[in-house]
Chains A and B, each alone.
Chain A
Amino acid sequence: MKGDMYLARSSSEEILNKTESGGVVTSLLRFALESKRVDAVLAIKARDGNRYDGIPVLISDPEEVIATAGALHCVTVNIPRYIKEYLDGAFNMKLAVVGKPCDIRGIIELVKREQINLDNLFLVGLNCSGTLSPVVAKKTIVEEFGADPLDVVYEDIEDGKLIISLKDGTEKTKDLKELEQKGYGRRENCQRCEVKIPTMADIACGKWGVTNNKKATFVEVCSDKGAEFFEEAIKAGYINVEQPDDKAIEERRKEEKEAIESALKWQETDFAPLKDMANEEKFDYWWGQFSQCIKCYGCRDACPICYCKDCTLEADRGIVTPGEVPPSVMFPTIRITHVMDSCVNCGQCQDACPAEIPLTKLIHMLNRQLDAIFKYEPGLDISILPPLRTVTDRELTMPGVELAF
């Protein structure tokens, strides 16, 4: 049933040997393929075993699913955009998709924009306490842990610590906050991200709430589709479950709360200097940033919210002058207006930007400001349309020119 929670474990030894947790996600994917509930599975795997080079893979052979087992923290791919661009928005195939909260939120935003067909998707959400950019991750491992990045067999973020396990069996731990203050650690947007458990997916899997080093995955069933799917997987013998006790549920809730509090603190720390600038300073700062733009369209191409087939920013639309670099103020401002109401803080634009303009920081900050007016949380609820496409009943009775909720 929707809302049920389980401590679950894969029944396959092969999968359990490959993962650090209960292997539930891998088992579910295998079940989805073997029971022909989906045509293919979209997940991430390490290319040639390289933990810092995660690639999305489309798998239709159940035997290959095992290659995607195990968590990868140094991977920043953008699942929603792949579904839209390369898989026809899942209009012609049934897919099981594995994603972090931001991936799932991006998918939901694209569903609202009619670019992805949700009916054909089964969304497996992964709890996420953040990802590291591959370059920073390697740097952190070399400079802070004094280890060879290629020796790392597993990395994890737990209780505010970054933990790496090496080939020779040693485990090293560093305080994440200290690392991040020095500029290492998680991506900026992940530090500020306040959605840690993807309850907007069909099921949410993670290790929070798994106590006593038990090899298990904590699963929350988040939709009726998820409930049906999960129960069938149990019946078919792919997964063994037990009920988590109140302590485990409380533990998970506590972990989530702490992570969210830390994210809100990061938001404050990061946004305050930008908000506190005087008008002229703001102006000089941002135009200074945008004057570095080389108009590569990387931010637009990476964004899970941008979806127009004919983009206003293209040269032939009469808005942005062709061949002009840096582009006029229209370029960044139009892009930002088009996405700021629905930004899911996935960090893709900033990752893609060769000029290192703090785009995600800017757009996410604006989005948080808009949240105060529109009360819209991007990508969380499929039934609520983006703010610029809808009008609430309350607004109809407001006479003023300003929205005051």
Chain B
Amino acid sequence: MDKFEPLILGFACNWCTYAGADLAGVSRFQYPPNIRMIRVMCSGRVDPVFILKAFAIGADGVLVGGCHPGDCHYMEGNYKARRRIELTKRLLGQFGIEPERLRLEWISASEGARFAEVVTDFTKEIKELGPSPLKLQGNPERSKGSR
């Protein structure tokens, strides 16, 4: 297990976190390559189904990044995201998937350094947790390599 490299899926909101990630890249901040980013227009667009699907097809962790409260481009998308993440965490927890594998962070467009920091920290945390139980189970969806 020492060589475990987690697979982390990141959802980044177009207006803040994605720009923050961009800034991290432009500024040459280093962060682990374990994360795969998907840009969404708003953290409020992240349906719990997306998160479940990520875990179902083998993600070890899911990071959702949104604008700080009060900064949402769509007024209250991030507040709704916060509620959904709370709900999804409870669900994962009940099924034996550690809720810590799902993390919500507020990262603004100017916080390139923070983006790198969050990804580094999250990757470290997931490494300590080990592979997702769903992955270990040899989940059929994963072996089929479906979408």
Which residues of A pack against B, CB within 8 Å? 274, 277, 279-287, 312, 318-319, 321, 324, 328-330, 333-334, 336-337, 340-341, 362, 365-366, 369-370, 373-374, 387-388, 391, 395-399, 401-403
Asked if B86 and A391 sit within 8 Å, CB to CB, the answer is: no
Question: Which residue of chain A has the shortest Cβ distance to B95 in the bound complex?
Answer: A286
Q: What is the bound-complex CA distance between A388 and B141, given in angstroms?
A: 28
Asked if A328 and B141 sit within 8 Å, CB to CB, the answer is: yes
Q: Which 9 A-B pairs have the closest CB atoms?
A: A283-B96, A282-B96, A391-B79, A401-B104, A337-B48, A279-B96, A333-B52, A328-B141, A283-B133
Q: Does B32 contact A (CB under 8 A)?
A: no
Q: Does B80 contact A (CB under 8 A)?
A: yes
Q: What is the bound-complex CA distance between A287 and B85, given in angstroms?
A: 22
Q: Chain B residues near A396: list those with CB within 8 A.
A: 69-70, 76, 79
B64-101 contact mask (Cβ, 8 Å, vs A): 1 or 0: 00001110000010011011111110110011111000
Q: What is the CB-to-nearest-CB distance from B137 to chain A, in angstroms, rounded to a whole number?
A: 7
Q: How many inter-chain contacts with C-beta < 8 Å in the A-B complex?
A: 107
Q: Chain A residues near B37: list those with CB within 8 A.
A: none
Chain B interface residue count, Cβ-Cβ cutoff 8 angstroms: 38
Q: Chain A residues near B97: list those with CB within 8 A.
A: 279, 283
Q: Chain A residues near B133: list those with CB within 8 A.
A: 279-280, 283
Question: Which residue of chain B has the shortest Cβ distance to A395 in the bound complex?
Answer: B79
Q: What is the bound-complex CA distance between A366 and B92, given in angstroms?
A: 11
Asked if A391 and B80 sit within 8 Å, CB to CB, the answer is: yes
Q: What is the CB-to-nearest-CB distance from B120 to chain A, in angstroms, rounded to a whole number?
A: 17
Which residues of B pack against A, CB within 8 Å? 48-49, 52-53, 55-56, 68-70, 76, 79-80, 82-88, 90-91, 94-98, 103-106, 133-134, 137, 139-141, 146-147
Q: What is the bound-complex CA distance between A402 and B79, given in angstroms?
A: 10
Q: Chain A residues near B96: list those with CB within 8 A.
A: 277, 279-286
Complex partner residue of B94 from A321, A365, A399, A401, CB under 8 angstroms? A365
Asked if B146 and A321 sit within 8 Å, CB to CB, the answer is: yes
Q: What is the bound-complex CA distance between A333 and B137, given in angstroms?
A: 16
Complex partner residue of A399 from B68, B80, B98, B141, CB under 8 angstroms? B68
Q: Chain B residues near A374: list those with CB within 8 A.
A: 83, 86
Asked if B94 and A395 sit within 8 Å, CB to CB, the answer is: no
> In the complex where A337-B88, A399-B69 touch, is A362 in contact with B94 (Cβ < 8 A)?
yes
Q: Chain A residues near B85: list those with CB within 8 A.
A: 401
Q: What is the bound-complex CA distance between A329 and B90, given in angstroms?
A: 16
Q: Chain B residues near A403: list those with CB within 8 A.
A: 82-83, 86
Given contacts A279-B96, A279-B97, A396-B70, 5 further A-B contacts (CB under 8 A): A283-B133, A329-B56, A329-B134, A337-B52, A401-B104
Q: Chain A residues near B95: list those with CB within 8 A.
A: 282-283, 286-287, 333
Q: Chain A residues near B56: list those with CB within 8 A.
A: 328-330, 333
Question: Which residue of chain B has the shortest Cβ distance to A318 in the bound complex?
Answer: B147
Asked if B82 and A319 sit within 8 Å, CB to CB, the answer is: no
